[in-house]
């Protein structure tokens, strides 16, 4: 069970969080879009730290789970906590895939494919605009002001 509060943002909090999104972030996070391959700011990020949901700040992936998939999007083999991601059946574009969403706010993150490395053999293929990054020495974001684990170090 996660040590983070997974209660969705209130309607008022959601309005405030969404107001801070760029047009591209809004298109991907809220309208299930995809950024172009090989252009995301986190594709080649090699720093140690934590990747969080761009909208609500929930930690999603550790840098130690990142790998170069060659697909053009940041890829990870395991989430920060399985409870922090949601898996949704996606039948768009004439195929069956698994969409990945933030378990707290429901924002679209990317897709999960069964072709990743051991030990999970999963490839969490994410849009950079769906993420924020916190260096290992910094505190995790707490945009919902919930304190506890959310105010602690990455």
Per-residue pLDDT of the chain (154 residues; tens, 9 = 90+): 678 999 999 999 999 999 999 999 999 999 999 999 999 999 999 999 999 999 999 999 999 999 999 999 999 999 999 999 999 998 887 888 899 999 999 999 999 999 999 999 999 999 999 999 999 989 998 999 887 666 556 6
CA 88-148-15 angle, to 5 degrees, is: 55
pLDDT at res. 78: 97
What is the residue whose two structure tokens read 């429901």?
Answer: 106
Write 85-89 long-range contacts (CB < 8 A, 24+). Answer: 85/60, 85/109, 85/124, 87/112
d(CA 118, CA 137) in angstroms, rounded, equals: 28
Per the confidence metrics, is the pTM higher than 0.85? yes
Look at residues 75, 83, 77 and name the one whose alpha carbon lies nearest to residue 102.
83
C-alpha to C-alpha distance for 107 and 130, rounded to whole angstroms: 8
Q: Tell me if residue 52 is catalytic.
A: no
For residue 117, what are the β-bridge partners? none
How many beta carbons lie within 10 A of that of residue 55, not counting itself?
26
Catalytic residue among 52, 102, 105, 125: 125
Are 98 and 111 spatial neighbours (Cβ–Cβ below 8 Å)? yes
Q: Is 154 exposed, middle or buried (0-12, 13-18, 19+ CB in 10 A)?
A: buried
> Residue 46 has which token pair?
């090699």
């Amino acid at each position: 069970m996660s040590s983070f509060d997974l209660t969705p943002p209130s309607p008022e909090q959601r309005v405030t969080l969404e107001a801070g999104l760029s047009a591209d972030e809004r298109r991907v996070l809220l309208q299930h879009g995809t950024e172009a391959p090989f252009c995301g700011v986190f594709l080649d990020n090699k720093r140690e730290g934590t990747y969080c949901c761009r909208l609500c700040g929930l930690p999603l992936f550790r840098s130690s789970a990142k790998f170069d998939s060659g697909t053009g999007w940041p890829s990870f083999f395991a989430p920060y906590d399985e409870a922090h991601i949601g898996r949704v059946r996606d039948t768009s574009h004439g195929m069956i895939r698994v969409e990945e969403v933030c378990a707290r706010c429901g924002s679209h993150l990317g897709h999960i494919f069964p072709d990743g490395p051991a030990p999970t053999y999963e490839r969490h293929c994410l849009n950079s605009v769906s993420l924020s990054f916190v260096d290992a020495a910094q505190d995790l974001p707490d945009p919902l002001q919930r304190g506890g684990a959310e105010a602690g170090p990455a």
